[in-house]
Amino acid sequence: MTTVEHDKSARTGPLAHLRVLDLTQFLSGPYATQILGDLGAEVIKVESPEGDMTRRLPPHFVGSESAYYLSVNRNKRSMAVDMKTEQGRAVIARLALACDVVVENFRPGILKRLGLSYEDIAAQKPGIVWCCISGFGQDGPYRDRPAYDMIVQAMSGGMSMTGEPDGPPVRSGIPLGDIAAGMYGVIGILAAIAERERTGRGKLIDVAMLDCQVAMLSYQAAYCLTSGQAPKRQGRGHDSIPTYRGFTCGDGNDIVITANTERMWVNLCAAIGRPDLAQEERFRTNDRRYANRDALWGILEAAFRTKSANDWVEALLAAEVPAAVVNTLDRSLTDPQVLHRNMVLALAGPQGEEARVAGNPIKFTGEAEAEPGYPPLLGADNHEILRSLLGFGDEELAELERAGVFGKATGAASARKAG
């Protein structure tokens, strides 16, 4: 595999001046570091010699790599290092000192036991920005519990509101627990970098997946705290606006409408051929529509059954009522707006592979998007990074190989690559 030199002059984007040590795996951390890489940062992903388990996650693969891994690891370089070895830990410490930002999602306390905590590195480099992403944070009664996306969706209460009112709670199809933690992690990192510009000092950022899910409860949390009542499952509707809802149309496909204002309500009535509804006393205001929502929904459902979903969306948009078809992913990812915004990327692999993944939503007006880098093979950059960044020579690299720091397979691959 040919490795492009990732010096600062070769990178573009607002974070091209930053180097990030990525000690994360699975989803929350890799999603965060991919955002940083999309914004131009040099990201060095460090894995065990066995690799991030998502490299092997079924059911879909491109070449030898799982589509899951490929979806969150573009624009990175890879090192395989056995942190159970003394030499491996020394390599990680030196890498951390050569970086501006460290991101990790180990369970709290693990890196401290290895002598690789924020305090260990910050003592030598006070400007380091260190982001810890975990299930429950670095303190508190649940600190040491394992956590995954569905665990925090359940514990936050968000899952209790998802699903039909008479059905069981349902996990969100989007892994909100992981994705939100990754995004909040990036927000914290950027804030710490901005402060470092003034003070010269870094920060330790503690992002908990559960905290992020609770924050995202937003107005639902305020409703519960104000009323003392827990919101029930939302189904296809909204707790406050009865005309913010999904409906099934005559062709069996679903649409959503969001008629949030009085003008939109009047327009909705006209669009379905029932302008009289807007004058009925029981539907005259949003409060009255809410009180009589079951009756209103029955009328709307009957109307929407008379035409196809696409026909209704066209008619509603013409009437200035926000509406959309509920797309399946295959339809979403071929939608002309999605494609126009370059939200489906084709990543070109080192051996002719092509992986198609969701794109970068952050656009800078007037700037062309940089060509995305294919997610790296495990350990592909071991020798190059240690030579160019830390100044390792042939004998030092050979000693690391003999000590098994790179693992048997990746070490041999790195040696072949270097030779």
| Whole-number Å distance between alpha carbons of 246 and 249 | 10
| Whole-number Å distance between alpha carbons of 170 and 180 | 18
Query: For the packed helices 86-97 and 394-402, what is the interaxial angle rounded to 10 degrees?
Result: 140
- 311 and 260, same structural domain? yes
List C-alpha distances in Å: 386 to 98, 248, 406.
11, 59, 12
- Please identify, among 277, 303, 332, the residue that sits at the C-terminal boundary of a domain: 332
On whether the CB atoms of residues 237 and 282 are closer than 8 A, the answer is no
In a domain, 237, yes or no: no
Q: What is the pLDDT of residue 412?
A: 37
**Whole-number mean pLDDT of the chain?**
94
Is the model's pLDDT at 419 over the cut of 80? no
For residue 29, give its domain range: 8-216+338-418
On whether the CB atoms of residues 147 and 153 are closer than 8 A, the answer is no
- pLDDT tens profile 178-232: 999 999 999 999 999 999 999 999 999 999 999 999 999 999 999 999 999 999 9
Residue indicated by tokens 């059954």: 305
CATH classification at residue 272: 3.30.1540.10
The model's confidence at residue 408, banded by pLDDT at 50, 70 and 90, is: confident
- 345 and 304, same structural domain? no
Q: What is the pLDDT of residue 297?
A: 97
CATH classification at residue 89: 3.40.50.10540
Pairing of strands 65-66, 61-62: antiparallel
- 207 and 292, same structural domain? no
Strand blocks (E) in 305-383 = 323-325, 344-348, 354-358
- 189 and 73, same structural domain? yes
User: Is 144 tagged catalytic?
Assistant: no
- 262 and 193, same structural domain? no
- 342 and 324, same structural domain? no
Angle subtended at Cα 191 by Cα 109 and Cα 148, rounded to the nearest 5 degrees:
40
In a domain, 224, yes or no: no
Is the model's pLDDT at 243 over the cut of 90? yes
Of 22, 38, 149, 178, which one is the catalytic site residue?
178
Pairing of strands 244-248, 129-134: unpaired
In a domain, 62, yes or no: yes
Residues 173-183 as b/e (b if ≥16 CB within 10 A, e otherwise) read eebbbbbbbbb
Q: What is the pLDDT of residue 1?
A: 24
In a domain, 15, yes or no: yes
In a domain, 61, yes or no: yes
In this prediction, residues 376-393 reach a mean pLDDT of 97
Q: Which of 204, 190, 201, 203 is nearest to 14 (CA)?
A: 190
In a domain, 66, yes or no: yes
Neighbouring C-beta atoms of residue 29, cutoff 10 Å:
28
- pLDDT tens profile 147-180: 999 999 999 999 999 999 999 999 999 999 999 9
- 110 and 72, same structural domain? yes
- pLDDT tens profile 267-307: 999 999 999 999 999 999 999 999 999 999 999 999 999 99
In a domain, 223, yes or no: no
SS3 86: helix
- Please identify, among 284, 306, 332, the residue that sits at the C-terminal boundary of a domain: 332
Query: For the packed helices 408-418 and 394-402, what is the interaxial angle rounded to 10 degrees?
Result: 160
Q: What is the pLDDT of residue 166?
A: 94
- 119 and 26, same structural domain? yes
Copy the structure tokens of residue 168.
């069981």
- 197 and 293, same structural domain? no
In the chain, the number of structural domains is 2
SS3 344: strand
- 179 and 34, same structural domain? yes
In a domain, 235, yes or no: no
- Please identify, among 332, 354, 377, the residue that sits at the C-terminal boundary of a domain: 332
| Whole-number Å distance between alpha carbons of 121 and 101 | 11
- 208 and 266, same structural domain? no
- 252 and 361, same structural domain? no
